[in-house]
Amino acid sequence: MTYPRKHLLAIEGLEPPHIADLLDLAESYALLNRSGKTQRDLLKGRTLINLFFEDSTRTRTSFELAGKRLGADVINMSVSTSSVNKGETLLDTASTLNAMHCDLLVVRHGQSGAPSLLSQKVDAAVINAGDGTHEHPTQALLDALTIRRHKGRLEGLVVAICGDIAHSRVARSNVHLLTTMGSRVRVVGPPTLIPAEASRLGVEVFHDMKAGLAGADVVMMLRLQRERMSGGLVPSAREFFRFYGLDAEKLAHAKPDSIVMHPGPMNRGVEIDSAIADHPTRSVIGEQVEMGVACRMAVLDVLAHGLRRNV
């Protein structure tokens, strides 16, 4: 295993062997999870704290499950009932947790760069569980694992990432991972939701869904991140769905065996039609969630090797 760092803060900067090794390890955890042999003691005596300043269903639960399956003591800190409400800063909160000798700190925060800042202040290994519009590295890993399981590879695949690219950390992490692994990435959306620097990231930009989906192997839909938008960047939900929502008619332009992905949470009838989200053969949205547990186990596993030996 070649993972070179103490923390996992971003996909940007990881090289193909690091990513491939993480995916191979995650694949082995996926098989173990399916076989029911889930309990390990790799993190016995270690403490993992989930510190989520933004809402989460999948990421927080799967880090909890992954930590417990590897034998860690897992604490979900409830930020909404914590002393953050009494004015304690992010850094003071982190040094408080540091003083309790937490080993692994999983952080989600609305500000891009917050996990990186914390990683400089605490002894724990820090994992970015989504920071502002910057990155969501474990989401990109679980997406890549899901794609690889269906297509057998990442190299050479045409992947269309559609919708609100500008505010999506999922898009950013996926663009870094997939271009590093040799996929041909397209971003598809209205001009107001495509960041100016998109073409510098090695992706093709499309404003028309039919053209952007033509011949795609993978169609990845994104939620409109209204909580990060200032002002009216999109008309109405109904209008957005008409032009950019994935329905059977638009999906017909992708390859007949293409898969449909969504990181969740979905807004049905806005970026995706229910019939596509629930499609029995094309939609792999449930499998993405399953692979999330396996990928987070793999990440905790590789970071465990760099932890202080004080237990």
**Residue numbers of the site for ligand ASP (CB under 6 A)?**
130, 136, 169-170, 223, 225, 263-265
63 contacts: CB under 8 Å, gap ≥ 6: 48, 50, 74, 106, 127, 129, 296
Give CA–CA dist 98/269, Å, rounded: 44
φ and ψ of 237, to 5 deg: -60, -40
| Residue 265 contacts ligand CP per CB under 6 A | yes
User: Which of 71, 113, 132, 264 lies at the binding interface for ligand CP (CB under 6 A)?
Assistant: 264
The CB density around residue 157, as the number of other CB atoms within 10 Å, is 22
Note whether 268 and 238 are within 8 A (CB): no
Among ligand CP, ligand ASP, none, residue 169 binds (CB under 5-8 Å by kind): ligand ASP
* CA contacts within 13 A on the Cβ side of 105: 32
Among ligand CP, ligand ASP, none, residue 110 binds (CB under 5-8 Å by kind): none
Shortest Å, Cβ 310 to ligand CP? 31
Nearer to ligand ASP, 25 or 218 (CB): 218
Among ligand ASP, ligand CP, none, residue 57 binds (CB under 5-8 Å by kind): ligand CP
Nearer to ligand CP, 235 or 265 (CB): 265
User: Which of 139, 146, 174, 258 lies at the binding interface for ligand CP (CB under 6 A)?
Assistant: 139
Nearer to ligand ASP, 7 or 169 (CB): 169
Amino acid in the structure at residue 266? M
Give CA–CA dist 81/86, Å, rounded: 10
The whole-angstrom distance between residue 129's C-alpha and the CA centroid of its chain comes to 7
Nearer to ligand ASP, 67 or 292 (CB): 292
Give the interface with ligand CP as residue ranges (CB under 6 A): 56-59, 130, 139, 263-265
